[in-house]
Amino acid sequence: MEHPSLDEFVMSPEIFQKVLHPAGIEVNGGRPEDLRVHREEFYERVLSGGSLALGESFMERLWDCEALDTFFYKILRAGIANRFPPWRVALAALQTRVLNPQSRRRARRVAELHYDLGNDFYEKMLGPTMQYTCGYWRRAKNLDEAQEDKLDLICRKLQLKPDDRVLEMGGGWGGFARFAAERYGCHVTSYNISKEQVKYAREWTRGLPVEIIEKDYREATGSFDKVVSIGMCEHVGVKNYRSWFELQERCLKPGGLMLLHTIGRNTPAKVSDPWITKYIFPGGILPCLKQLMEAAQGLFVLEDLHNIGPDYDRTLLAWYENYRELLRKKADQLGDRFDLMWTYYLLSCAGAFRARSLQLWQLVFSKEGHVNGYIPER
């Protein structure tokens, strides 16, 4: 998941208000989307620290907002964000040119910080499907139905058949592997570096034709009828897109299909938002379509592109409701700072998807082109 960036703002509350005016947001106004500043140091903090300081000052209760999702939706739609990136973003961009933030060693940080929080935590927030990606809400009435429909949509787009051998890059808690094996009779081999997720997935898929391998995706080998990546591309990194596509091409049989389900940006970026990098997804970076298509060039034929980005807004709000219910039972255990961090994360991302600053793409690629023509599924 990616968090929207925000401009640096000047120290004066009056000028701060002028900057927010195009979005229809007021400082200390009376509407749910207005931000309420509790301490004057807020302005200095955001001036010097940009989006990182905006998030951290929220976690320190220097400001709050009753409808945080609407706040971010409005400022992003008004084009206030990203005009003056803070110096920390420039520094991170410089470091990225020299380093590979998604190297094998660094890739484990996100598993340890985020995905290994505890399977019981994610069970409560995500629900029985354990899907930590966008649901498909075309016909669904609730989160569970939306996630089931998303999994079935992916299987139909891959044209899964009984006895297909499927390679999954980054398998989460095993939800797709279980669904594909039970509903479509496939054999699924899934790679994952999160110890907690691997433990959960192995237990959840016990007795099914599923192999959960606790290794980095770069160690994948074998020959498969289909390849799928659901919520993995966000952790691959710009420097690794080409080698990632090459690996999938090597593992895919002639005539096979590969599906990529990923959050995406409208424009290229070499670094992520500093707040989301520090507190939620270290090493994460969202691709744009140009980067993906250039990386896949000469390896695959694009058969279908489907954008379900608006569905992520609804998915995030459903997770947030589940999270609030969890918090009511475990407030003392989670703590106030953790609560503010996850509230900021979930609701700011919901606003970003609602504003169409972020997208959710499902791309279907074929190896050598689908001979009889590919018929898109919806």
Name the 3-class secondary structure at 365: strand
Paired residues of 188 in beta bridges: 166, 210
Hey, what amino acid is at 228?
Answer: V
16, 34, 332, 352 from 21: Cα distances, Å: 9, 11, 38, 19
User: Are the beta carbons of 182 and 206 closer than 8 angstroms?
Assistant: no
Whether residue 270 contacts residue 93, with contact meaning beta carbons closer than 8 Å, is answered with: yes
- Considering 65, 134, 155, 349, which one is annotated as catalytic? 349
Structure tokens at 286: 């969202």
Backbone angles phi, psi at 288, to 5 degrees: -110, 165
Active site residue 349: yes
SS (H, E, C) 31-73: CCCCEEECCCHHHHHHHHHHHHHHHHHHHCCCEEECCHHHHHH
Residue 77 and residue 302: Cα distance in Å, rounded? 30
Start-to-end C-alpha separation, the chain: 24
Query: So which residues are the catalytic ones?
Result: 349
